């Protein structure tokens, strides 16, 4: 399937610009520098929120963005889109949009997360957040999450275990761990058995009140291979981390 890449920019909760910036071919991926794309538009007001959309070209014709799209049929969507927003005492806001399958945590599976970079400094507060929920209202599983912090050479500095009740979240403040390292750039892994979690990285800059929220995709999203190979690699990684954290 081919997609248009659409950039929507907002200021003070109002849409100030929406433009198609590229076309994404099937079986491909690209990186976009949002600051550069915003500069090209020469806007009078600086946007405080932006969204990058991936819209099937079948829903748009002649590179024109329609005001409203009505489909003859209502297809089954394989993903739900959700937003998490955080506001500080200084009224700074940050948010992240992510997608989850409609059967999230309705089938048993193990959780593995990694890849977010942690910038360790007194001016930046780093929190790793894990959301334990399901689209099944009767979901009642508590998550036992094992989180390990590493330096840039892969040396494990510390492991912390947290419990997260169903339809709740757990948070680990990296700055409070008192890690024995002079390095500023660190990374982490997190695992849990028999369920899935939504991993978020919340970063708060104390000097200017800025907030950033990121989420890492599941590891299998980075592997271009058949599903059975993806699950095999994931299982091997989780088994290794279990033994290392034991």
| Residue 114 confidence (pLDDT) | 83
pLDDT band at 83 (very low <50, low <70, confident <90, very high): low
Q: Tell me the per-residue pLDDT of 19-32, one tens digit each, with 9 for 90 and over.
A: 889 999 988 888 88
- Res 72: pLDDT: 58
**Do 34 and 88 have their domain in common?**
no
Q: What is the pLDDT, as a whole number, of residue 9?
A: 84
Instruction: Based on the fold, state whether residues 181 and 136 are members of the same structural domain.
Output: yes
The verdict on 36 and 109 lying in the same domain is no
Indicate if 143 and 84 belong to the same structural domain: yes
**In the listed set 39, 73, 107, which residue is the last one of a domain according to the structure?**
73
pLDDT of residue 230: 85
User: Which residues form the domain of 65?
Assistant: 1-73
What mean pLDDT comes out for the span 86-92?
65
**Where does a domain end: 73, 94, 123?**
73
Residues in the chain: 246
CATH code of 132's domain: 2.60.290.11
Shared domain for 81 and 69, answered yes or no, is no
| Whether the Cβ atoms of residue 160 and residue 177 lie closer than 8 Å to each other | yes
d(CA 238, CA 113): 10
pLDDT tens by residue, 146-162: 999 999 888 999 999 99
Contact present, 213 and 169 (Cβ < 8 Å): no
Is the predicted pLDDT of residue 81 greater than 70, yes or no? no
Q: CA–CA separation, 10 vs 129, rounded Å?
A: 26
Stronger pLDDT, 11 or 23, i.e. the higher one = 23
pLDDT of 67 reads: 60
Q: What is the pTM of this model?
A: 0.66
Which residues does residue 118 pair with via DSSP β-bridges, in sequence order? Answer: 186
Percent of the chain with pLDDT over 90: 22
Q: Which of 235, 158, 164 is nearest to 200 (CA)?
A: 164
Residues 143 and 241 in one domain: yes
Same domain as 132, residue 240: yes
Residues 27, 133 share a domain: no
For the cut 80, the answer to whether the pLDDT of residue 144 exceeds it is yes
Q: Which of 39-53, 185-199, 211-225 has the highest mean pLDDT?
A: 185-199
Residues 95 and 214 in one domain: yes
Residues 23 and 138 in one domain: no
The domain total for the chain is: 2
Residues 80 and 68 in one domain: no
Tokens at residue 141, please?
């599983």
Last residue of one domain, picked from the residues 73, 100, 125: 73
Instruction: Tell me, yes or no, whether 110 and 197 share the same domain.
Output: yes
Q: What does the alpha-carbon distance between residue 181 and residue 186 come to, in Å, rounded to a whole number?
A: 10
The mean pLDDT value of the chain amounts to 82
Please give the pLDDT value at position 79: 56
Q: Is 137's pLDDT higher than 60? A: yes
> Of 71 and 168, which is predicted with more confidence?
168
User: For 75-102, what is the mean pLDDT?
Assistant: 64
């Amino acid at each position: 399937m081919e997609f248009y890449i659409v950039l929507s920019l907002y200021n003070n909760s109002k849409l100030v610009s929406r433009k198609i910036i590229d076309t994404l071919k099937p079986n491909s991926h690209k990186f976009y520098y949002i600051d550069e794309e915003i500069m090209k538009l020469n806007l009078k007001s600086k946007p405080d929120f932006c969204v990058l959309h991936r819209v099937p070209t079948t829903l748009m014709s002649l590179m024109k963005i329609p005001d409203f799209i009505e489909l003859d049929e209502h297809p089954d969507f394989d993903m739900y889109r959700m937003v998490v927003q955080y506001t500080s005492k200084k009224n700074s806001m940050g948010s992240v949009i992510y997608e989850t399958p409609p059967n999230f945590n309705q089938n048993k599976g193990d959780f593995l997360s990694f890849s977010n970079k942690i910038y360790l400094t007194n001016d930046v507060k780093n929190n790793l957040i894990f959301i334990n929920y399901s689209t099944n209202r009767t979901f009642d599983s508590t998550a036992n999450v094992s989180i390990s912090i590493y330096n840039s050479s892969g040396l494990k500095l510390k492991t912390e275990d947290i419990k997260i009740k169903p339809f709740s979240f757990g948070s680990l403040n990296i700055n409070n761990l008192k890690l024995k390292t002079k390095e500023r750039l660190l990374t982490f892994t997190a695992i849990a058995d028999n369920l899935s979690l939504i991993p978020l990285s919340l970063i708060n800059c104390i000097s200017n009140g800025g907030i950033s929220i990121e989420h890492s995709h599941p590891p299998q999203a980075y592997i271009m291979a058949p599903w059975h190979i993806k699950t095999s690699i994931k299982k091997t990684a989780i088994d290794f981390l279990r033994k290392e954290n034991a």
